[in-house]
Amino acid sequence: MREKLVLIGNGMAGVRTLEEVLKLDPEMYDITVFGEEPYGNYNRIMLSPVLAGEKSIEDIILNEKQWYADNGITLHVNKQVTQIDRYHRKVVADDGTEAHYDRLIIATGSSPFILPIPGADLDGVVGFRDVDDVDQMLETAKQYNKAVVIGAGLLGLEAADGLLKQGMDVTVVHLLDTLMEQQLDSTAGAMLKASLEARGMKFLMRHQTEALLGEGRVQGIRFANGQTVPTDLVVMAVGIRPNISLAQTAGIYCERGIVVSDTLTTYDPRIFAVGECVQHRGATYGLVAPLFEQAKVCANHLCQLGYGRYEGSVVSTKLKVSGIDLFSAGEFIETDGDETLVMQDPAEGIYKKLVIRNNRVKGAVMYGDTLDGSWYFQLLREETDISSFRSTILFGQHSVGDAGHSGGSKMVNLADDAEVCGCNGICKGDIVKAIQDKGLFTLDEVKAHTKAGASCGSCSGLVEQILVSTVGSDFDATPSKKAMCGCTDFSHDEVMEAIRKGALKDMATLFRYLNWSTPDGCASCRPALNYYLLSSWPEEYEDDAQSRLINERVHGNIQKDGTYSVVPRMFGGLCTANDLRAIADVSDKYDVPQMKVTGGQRIDLFGVKKEQLPAMWKDLNDAGFISGHAYSKGLRTVKTCAGETWCRFGTQNSIDLGVKLEHFTWGSWMPHKFKIAVSGCPRNCAEATIKDFGVVCIDSGYELHVGGNGGIKVRVTDLLCKVTTEEEVEEYCGAFTQFYREDAHYLERTANWIERVGMKRIKEHVVDNETGRKALNERFKVSQSVAQIDPWKERADGAESHEFNPLKIAG
């Protein structure tokens, strides 16, 4: 018989936990849900747009009642649980309904804090928490004119804005002299106040409410200074308070909230708690992103996986008042020893402040231009070293050159038919519609449903902006730790560490050891794991062909019509007349439809049928060619210019050096493709400064540049160092390449890797530490000793022949 799981509280945190449980193990539990409200689970964050008249209740329902039925969940609506009987393991509702549990989730949420002042129980005094409150406000707005909102926090201002849009005369009362003091510093607070005042909102700052006046219905409000203001509606938005009385009555340990451990377990091990009713490591949360993180961990333990851990959340906020751009995250008020970077443009109404400690972003406040909010938030969460782009960080991500943004055009102002994802032809309207219709919350979900950002990924920043502007920034938080794929909760870094520290040397052991949720991974994790195993244990791990994508399996690039292209390696771009004759002969013999000189100084033969490949490779082998690896995550080409051998400007022998580097590095598998160039002088004809590793010869030696990329988003290299001999160039090249192989995530180009970990770290390992550099270079040589095998020759000799010969029906 299945165990019984009961959920108290039919809200976002609880239902999200159920969704995660169903994802992990749909057969595990008989599930029963109790909710006080008559609806299915709805998106509480969207109450502000409902109040503002921009959406209806139906628009914000996340789980229709049909969803509960489809998943075999018993749903009790309009029933409040009044007792948890821990001895008999059952819960009792106000109408007498009982349900037994083996595991219980408490997700009772929070209530608005109602000031304990005279008149707080009058009609026309409401909180701002559920559909009921919103209905009451909307009704009041139809009949009455004046409204007072107590509390100028996030919720208070959203309520005030909504009431203003309903045509009411709104006054906001606040105890302190800064608006949203939990999210804003005084400068940004003042800017926000000015712009809300311009819309007609009135403010009474530093006013303490003493009493609400009236008989039956509220008619006025009196302050501690004796002043009174007439009103027809009072919205209390001074804070929320976790709903803990049910848990408390049952004897479950509570402080401000229900106290839970990192596994979301209460002091009763059969009882879990998630959401706003919870107190974790001393903190309570009122935003959605942390609740979702909690839900995931809670489900992990409910399904007895036992390794998920919630370690608290860093949160960001954004005001959902249309036309006002405001963002804040982290510790935005500086303390001793912090530095602040500030940009202020009063005429444009723009203010940005970053709080920096040890070259890491600790907090951010932005007003007027919040385009880069999610970027700063990412830098904050990942504790990225910003020293290399500190001088331009305030100008935003596009000034740094990372992928993502196109100039300053704000997504909110973009027309619905504007194309966002150039790869898949997805317009803004398609994305907004999918987010609204399908209730999408995360970037990954949007990618899966619309394909926007799912190919090259350069528009991810824009897609995220649309997500934020459509649903509010509570959702913009990508998890602080990115899981490798749907098969695991572990991140790339954790998996890499486990492979090395745990001496995991084959995939089956790895799946077992790390509790993979699928029997043999997926098309996303298998190639990554195969690479990590291969690069960690080059002499021991046996490469798994079935974990390589087709291009690397058949050593050619699959083209859209299913044919392949063939590129012979020409070291440094050099070739002889005999080489060209041999290629021409092969082209004739196999009827190659088209040939092209590539950007990497090679010759590409297009349109070759798979069955022809081995024979063609054999002919090219016989003429002295090996595979050009034009399909591989590994060294592609070393591009060279004429250099001092021929060029009147050349300072060093760039051709010769390029050929040497290519002989040194070919055949190595890497996280992603890798390109090298050697230019003979600073005129840089080989374009070395947009390569992964670029050498620019100068009169006194060689400049070494790293992390360039000429692709989706052009990134110019960073200067690694200058050296004086070819031997040093080779040593630094080997060391840098090896550090990239060991440190970067699979499918991360050097450009993205350097932006993530910072140039400082690269220099520490490759330049400053001589012993470390030599050790890296030695490890690269060891790996090369087993990697430099020409795949063409192996296959021409008959290896993997099943790849190239279709089955045929005899007769």
Partner 1 sequence: MSDWIAIAKLDDIPLRGSRQLKTDTVDIAIFRTGSDEVFAIRDQCPHLGGPLSQGMVHGNTVTCPLHNWKIDLESGQVKAPDEGCVNRYPVKVEQGVVYLGPLESHDA
Closest CB 520 distance from partner 1, rounded Å:
4
Residues 435-454 that bind partner 1 (CB under 8 A): 448-449
Question: Taking Cα atoms as reference points, which of 783, 693, 767, 774 lies closest to residue 723?
Answer: 767
Regarding beta strands 271-273 and 103-106, do their DSSP bridges make them parallel or antiparallel, or are they unpaired? parallel
Piece in contact with partner 1 (CB under 8 A), picked from 298-306, 456-464, 547-555, 601-609: 547-555
Of 76 and 449, nearer to partner 1 (C-beta) is 449
- Contact with partner 1 (CB under 8 A) among 142, 501, 648, 802: 802
- Give 215's strand partners: 217
Residues 119-158 that bind partner 1 (CB under 8 A): none
For 51-105, the DSSP string reads: HTTSS-HHHHBSS-HHHHHHTT-EEE-S--EEEEETTTTEEEETTS-EEE-SEEE
d(CA 613, CA 566): 8
Of 25 and 331, nearer to partner 1 (C-beta) is 25
Piece in contact with partner 1 (CB under 8 A), picked from 68-76, 393-401, 495-503, 541-549: 541-549
- Contact with partner 1 (CB under 8 A) among 28, 213, 314, 522: 522
- Contact with partner 1 (CB under 8 A) among 71, 249, 518, 578: 518
Closest CB 129 distance from partner 1, rounded Å:
33
For 228-292, the DSSP string reads: EEE-SEEEE-S-EEE--HHHHHTT--BSSSEEE-TTSB-SSTTEEE-STTEEETTB---SHHHHH
Closest CB 184 distance from partner 1, rounded Å:
38
519 forms part of the interface with partner 1 (CB under 8 A): yes
> Quick one: DSSP state of residue 774?
H
- Contact with partner 1 (CB under 8 A) among 116, 323, 562, 798: 562
d(CA 620, CA 630): 15
Helix (H, G, I), strand (E, B) or coil at 744: coil
Of 577 and 809, nearer to partner 1 (C-beta) is 809
550 forms part of the interface with partner 1 (CB under 8 A): yes
- Residue 358 Ramachandran class (φ > 0 left, ψ -120 to 50 alpha, else beta): left
Closest CB 611 distance from partner 1, rounded Å:
10
194 forms part of the interface with partner 1 (CB under 8 A): no
Look up residue 560 and give its two tokens: 């859209």
Close Cβ partners of 418 (under 8 Å, ≥ 6 residues apart): 427, 428
**How far is Cα of residue 578 from the mean position of the Cα atoms in its chain?**
51
Of 332 and 516, nearer to partner 1 (C-beta) is 516
d(CA 223, CA 730): 77
The three state secondary structure string of 381-441 is HCCCCCHHHHHHHHHCHHHHCCCCCCCCCCHHHCCCCCEEECCCCEEHHHHHHHHHHHCCC
Of 261 and 563, nearer to partner 1 (C-beta) is 563
Closest CB 544 distance from partner 1, rounded Å:
8
d(CA 213, CA 423): 62
Closest CB 806 distance from partner 1, rounded Å:
4
Contact letters (x/-) for partner 1, 309-348, by CB under 8 A? ----------------------------------------
Piece in contact with partner 1 (CB under 8 A), picked from 154-162, 362-370, 514-522, 713-721: 514-522
Closest CB 563 distance from partner 1, rounded Å:
10
Helix (H, G, I), strand (E, B) or coil at 364: strand
798 forms part of the interface with partner 1 (CB under 8 A): no
Of 548 and 673, nearer to partner 1 (C-beta) is 548
- Contact with partner 1 (CB under 8 A) among 89, 207, 362, 526: 526
d(CA 47, CA 796): 66
Question: Taking Cα atoms as reference points, which of 372, 354, 371 lies closest to residue 363?
Answer: 354
- Contact with partner 1 (CB under 8 A) among 558, 574, 575, 647: 558
Piece in contact with partner 1 (CB under 8 A), picked from 112-120, 517-525, 593-601, 645-653: 517-525
483 forms part of the interface with partner 1 (CB under 8 A): no
Piece in contact with partner 1 (CB under 8 A), picked from 371-379, 493-501, 549-557, 716-724: 549-557
747 forms part of the interface with partner 1 (CB under 8 A): no
Piece in contact with partner 1 (CB under 8 A), picked from 315-323, 352-360, 515-523, 531-539: 515-523
Q: How many CB atoms lie within 10 A of CB 686?
A: 28
Look up residue 778 and give its two tokens: 């030695």
d(CA 342, CA 395): 11
- Contact with partner 1 (CB under 8 A) among 198, 347, 415, 523: 523
Closest CB 523 distance from partner 1, rounded Å:
4
545 forms part of the interface with partner 1 (CB under 8 A): yes
Closest CB 568 distance from partner 1, rounded Å:
23
Site for partner 1 (CB under 8 A): how many residues?
Answer: 25
Q: How many CB atoms lie within 10 A of CB 500?
A: 14
Of 66 and 546, nearer to partner 1 (C-beta) is 546
Task: Report the chain's terminal Cα–Cα distance, integer Å.
Answer: 55
Closest CB 72 distance from partner 1, rounded Å:
19
Of 527 and 572, nearer to partner 1 (C-beta) is 527
Task: Report whether 502 contacts 490 (CB < 8 A).
Answer: no
Q: Which residue ranges make up the site for partner 1 (CB under 8 A)?
A: 448-449, 518-523, 526-527, 545-547, 549-550, 553-554, 558, 560, 562, 802, 806-809
